[in-house]
A and B are shown apart, each in its own frame.
Chain A
Amino acid sequence: MVTGCSPQSHYIEDIQYLQAMGFDYIDGEVQANGTTTIFMPVAESLPQSETINVSREDLEDLYSHMQAESSRYVDTSRSRVHLFHQDLAANEGIFGVIDTIQRNPMINQNLKIAMTRGPTKDILNEEYPFHLTVHEYLVELIELNQAEQLPIVDFQDFLYQYYAEGADPFLPLLEKAQNRVDVVGIALFKEDKYIEELSLDKTHVFRKLIDETEEGTINIDIDESRGFALHHLSSSPDWTIKQDADGIYVKVNVNIQGPLREARNINVSKPATIQQLEELAARDFEKQMEEIVHFFQENEIDPIGIGERIGQKVRNFDIKRWEKEEYPNLNVDINVNFTIENTGAVV
């Protein structure tokens, strides 16, 4: 009787862990691919990978169909990465899949998600040098790039921006190259549908508007022969929102500082030159940031979450109406303070 009441037990050697999932959109049908890991009972043997593909229209019985493809128990609790094909994101939207994940308490919610240009199947089926499994490779790729150049966004952030009225979600955009995967920028969403993309260079600037960052590189050309580059840039944005009789005034102060690592044909020993360079870099950033904000306004998306920020400052604020009527013509006052901390180990 006791065994009859106890829950099912599974042995680790018998479990196939579903660790990376990809969702493709082929001929109008959603197709799901899962990469699984099997821990072998042999000592000192490496875990092995296998990819299962199932095509299902409705996602609810996706997992049972995954099970049908495997003789081992397929366990979903350890999934780490979910990828979405661009076509799926553009045509159907990805919230259907996202909702299935958040509804299931057996799935770890600490997930990375990303959008891919090509079919996710190609990415998940590939073997990557120096990496044991595909999911490890993808997680490390996304995490490292988020430290270096992508805005930090995972499963929870996507949900936050999806539910927020005054913000729109974005995801890292990946593309398959030979035997590696490249990060090519971010994919911008309206609700859960893919709208536009932002190139990696612009993403770099964009994240300085929303996150406090510690790492990053910037290269500025003055003319053909002269230019300079800075590494380990740290930055912090400071948004000010004021409401007066004329309407709502939005301003952002971005402080960026970092050491100079490369100076081509510039004498950086003089403080006056450094000041000029700082000024130059600040203007360059301001111009780029303004371009990005305009780009968002043209597409009527708000990945920065300006509406959300205003909603937190202004009482009884109708975000929906504001996003529709006033956001496209909003004037955002961008001000960058740039500090070059030092010029490296040589004068």
Chain B
Amino acid sequence: MHPEAKVTKQVSPFFAFFIVTVMQVGVGIFTLPRTMIVDAGHDGWIAIVFSAVLVSIIIRIIYAMLNKGDTIITIQNKVFGKTLGSFISLFWVFYYSLFVLITLVAYVEILNVWIFPEVSLWVLYLICMLLAYNYTTSGFRAIIGGSLLAVLFVLPFLFFSHLPQGQLHFGSLFPIFDHSLHEMWLSTKTMTFQFLGFEILLMAYPFIKQAPRSHKWAQIGLVFSMIIYLIAFILPVIYFHERHLLTIIWPTLTLWKMEYIGMSIWLLVLLPNMAFGLWSASRVVKQTFNLSQRHSLRGVTLVIFGCALLFTTRIEIQSLSAFTNRLGFYTIFIYIPILFLLQALIIKRRRL
């Protein structure tokens, strides 16, 4: 029943790299050093690596699942039946939209504090959402193109950081593993939020040519984001004192030599990021309810814009990201493996 994606709309397998990277390295990188240091302190980098290993396993599971199904929607319909499957698909609309919302809100908050204190929030929300909407209407391949540009041109800007000789305290990284396993686990949980976004693959899979071959590229994308996160974590840790770092909301920005330019250019990373989210959310609606994707996209965009207006203070934004964090964690590490097992069971039973 699902519409087979046309070859003209597909992309080569290695673009899975850009999908994964651009989705993972989003707006979270600016707060990453502080959130990681809360529990695991200077050992946060271990949590980053550990978290990446866990996510790598999940990506493997997702590919194993998609190789036998096509998108998360068809899999759910097969496993739970049409009615319940469609109902659960609604969750994915919510899930993808939530990620667009948190990116939008977190980015606009930075813009508001650092660059445009005089501009009211809704103006910034409107500009970002309009751009993301335009991006999405140009189609999947256009978003892929955008993410390629973002990875190649924008991420290198991160290297223009303050690295004054004599002010880097490499000793701050020692002693290694000075925190309890429990603290490490808490940090690993926090870190998974940063690695989320690759779930777009659950919808984008049919749009990749010879999709099973793109698994390798998705894993390379994960390793690439992990390296970027490691750099983004270690630099502030050796520059600021740990107790000082805890008080800085966006350490990456404070350390960045070109924070004003960089922050504006960062929109180029976030646009494909949000566009992928919008695209997936509207795609789920289309596949489940046979609505035109253009209409559902408009609906989703409007709802996200409306919700964004409700978030104005730091505490609200923090609780939103904490909620997203928890939801993402359970979806990825509990729901996806269970779905995978159920799918395997059903396929086995059919063969018998």
Chain B CB within 8 A of A313 CB: yes
Q: Mark A17-37, 1 if CB is under 8 A from B, else 0.
A: 000000000000000000000
CB of B34, distance to nearest CB on chain A (Å): 13
Inter-chain CA distance A312–B240, complex, in Å, is 15
Q: Among the listed A5, A156, A312, A314, which residue makes an inter-chain contact with B239, where contact means beta carbons less than 8 Å apart?
A: A156
Q: Among the listed B118, B166, B169, B244, which residue makes an inter-chain contact with A211, where contact means beta carbons less than 8 Å apart?
A: B166
Chain A CB within 8 A of B153 CB: no
In the bound complex, residues from chain A placing their C-beta under 8 Å from that of B120 are 5
Let me know if A312 and B243 touch, CB within 8 A: no
Let me know if A109 and B241 touch, CB within 8 A: no
Let me know if B175 and A315 touch, CB within 8 A: yes
Known: A105-B113, A156-B239, A312-B175. A8 touches B166 (CB 8 A): no
Inter-chain CA distance A316–B169, complex, in Å, is 19
Chain A CB within 8 A of B123 CB: yes
Let me know if B175 and A7 touch, CB within 8 A: no
Let me know if B116 and A160 touch, CB within 8 A: no
Q: Among the listed B114, B118, B166, B175, which residue makes an inter-chain contact with A212, where contact means beta carbons less than 8 Å apart?
A: B166
Within 8 A of B (CB), among A123-150: none
In the bound complex, residues from chain A placing their C-beta under 8 Å from that of B253 are 105
Let me know if B241 and A159 touch, CB within 8 A: yes
Let me know if B175 and A109 touch, CB within 8 A: no
In the bound complex, residues from chain B placing their C-beta under 8 Å from that of A313 are 174-175
Inter-chain CA distance A179–B175, complex, in Å, is 50
Known: A157-B167, A312-B171. A163 touches B113 (CB 8 A): no
Within 8 A of B (CB), among A155-186: 156-157, 159-165
Q: Among the listed B119, B123, B169, which residue makes an inter-chain contact with A160, where contact means beta carbons less than 8 Å apart?
A: B169
Q: Among the listed B113, B239, B243, B254, which residue makes an inter-chain contact with A164, where contact means beta carbons less than 8 Å apart?
A: B243
CB of A272, distance to nearest CB on chain B (Å): 37
Within 8 A of A (CB), among B162-189: 162, 164, 166-167, 169, 171-172, 174-175, 178
In the bound complex, residues from chain B placing their C-beta under 8 Å from that of A161 are 241
CB of B267, distance to nearest CB on chain A (Å): 16
Of A5, A161, A162, the most chain B CB neighbours within 10 A belong to A5
Q: Mark B34-46, 1 if CB is under 8 A from A, else 0.
A: 0000000000000
CB of B160, distance to nearest CB on chain A (Å): 14
Let me know if A109 and B178 touch, CB within 8 A: no
Q: Among the listed B118, B162, B166, B244, which residue makes an inter-chain contact with A159, where contact means beta carbons less than 8 Å apart?
A: B244
Q: Which partner residue on chain A sits nearest B253 by CB separation? A: A105
Chain B CB within 8 A of A309 CB: yes
Q: Which partner residue on chain A sits nearest B177 by CB separation? A: A315
Chain B CB within 8 A of A90 CB: no
Q: Which partner residue on chain A sits nearest B244 by CB separation? A: A163
Q: Mark B253-269, 1 if CB is under 8 A from A, else 0.
A: 11000000000000000
Q: Among the listed B114, B116, B243, B254, which residue makes an inter-chain contact with A165, where contact means beta carbons less than 8 Å apart?
A: B243
Chain B CB within 8 A of A263 CB: no
CB of A214, distance to nearest CB on chain B (Å): 11
In the bound complex, residues from chain B placing their C-beta under 8 Å from that of A105 are 113-114, 253
Inter-chain CA distance A6–B348, complex, in Å, is 62
Q: Among the listed A152, A159, A163, A314, which residue makes an inter-chain contact with B175, where contact means beta carbons less than 8 Å apart?
A: A314
Let me know if B171 and A309 touch, CB within 8 A: yes
In the bound complex, residues from chain A placing their C-beta under 8 Å from that of B244 are 159-160, 162-163
In the bound complex, residues from chain B placing their C-beta under 8 Å from that of A314 are 175
Let me know if B178 and A316 touch, CB within 8 A: yes
In the bound complex, residues from chain A placing their C-beta under 8 Å from that of B241 are 159-161, 163-164
Q: Mark B316-335, 1 if CB is under 8 A from A, else 0.
A: 00000000000000000000
Q: Which partner residue on chain A sits nearest B169 by CB separation? A: A160
Inter-chain CA distance A18–B246, complex, in Å, is 29
In the bound complex, residues from chain B placing their C-beta under 8 Å from that of A7 are 115-116, 118-119
In the bound complex, residues from chain A placing their C-beta under 8 Å from that of B243 are 163-165
Let me know if B172 and A312 touch, CB within 8 A: yes
Inter-chain CA distance A6–B248, complex, in Å, is 28
Inter-chain CA distance A316–B171, complex, in Å, is 15
Q: Which partner residue on chain A sits nearest B257 by CB separation? A: A110
In the bound complex, residues from chain A placing their C-beta under 8 Å from that of B171 are 308-309, 312
Q: Mark B99-139, 1 if CB is under 8 A from A, else 0.
A: 00000000000000111101110010000000000000000
In the bound complex, residues from chain A placing their C-beta under 8 Å from that of B114 are 105
Inter-chain CA distance A164–B175, complex, in Å, is 16
Q: Among the listed B169, B178, B239, which residue makes an inter-chain contact with A315, where contact means beta carbons less than 8 Å apart?
A: B178
Q: Which partner residue on chain B sits nearest A8 by CB separation? A: B118
Inter-chain CA distance A165–B123, complex, in Å, is 44
Inter-chain CA distance A161–B123, complex, in Å, is 41
In the bound complex, residues from chain A placing their C-beta under 8 Å from that of B115 are 7
Q: Which partner residue on chain B sits nearest A166 by CB separation? A: B241
In the bound complex, residues from chain B placing their C-beta under 8 Å from that of A6 are 119
Known: A8-B118, A105-B113. A160 touches B240 (CB 8 A): yes
CB of B20, distance to nearest CB on chain A (Å): 32
Inter-chain CA distance A8–B162, complex, in Å, is 29
CB of B344, distance to nearest CB on chain A (Å): 45
Inter-chain CA distance A105–B118, complex, in Å, is 14
In the bound complex, residues from chain A placing their C-beta under 8 Å from that of B169 are 160
Q: Which partner residue on chain A sits nearest B240 by CB separation? A: A160
CB of B295, distance to nearest CB on chain A (Å): 28
Q: Which partner residue on chain B sits nearest A157 by CB separation? A: B167
Let me know if A5 and B119 touch, CB within 8 A: yes
In the bound complex, residues from chain A placing their C-beta under 8 Å from that of B167 are 152, 156-157, 160
What are 6 sample pairs from A and B whose C-beta atoms fall under 8 A apart?
A7-B116, A7-B118, A8-B118, A161-B241, A309-B171, A315-B178
Using A5-B123, A7-B116, A313-B174 as known contacts, list a sample of 7 further A-B pairs with CB atoms less than 8 Å apart, ordered by residue number in A: A7-B119, A105-B253, A160-B169, A163-B240, A312-B174, A315-B178, A316-B178
Nearest first, the 3 closest Cβ-Cβ pairs linking A and B are A163-B244, A312-B171, A163-B241
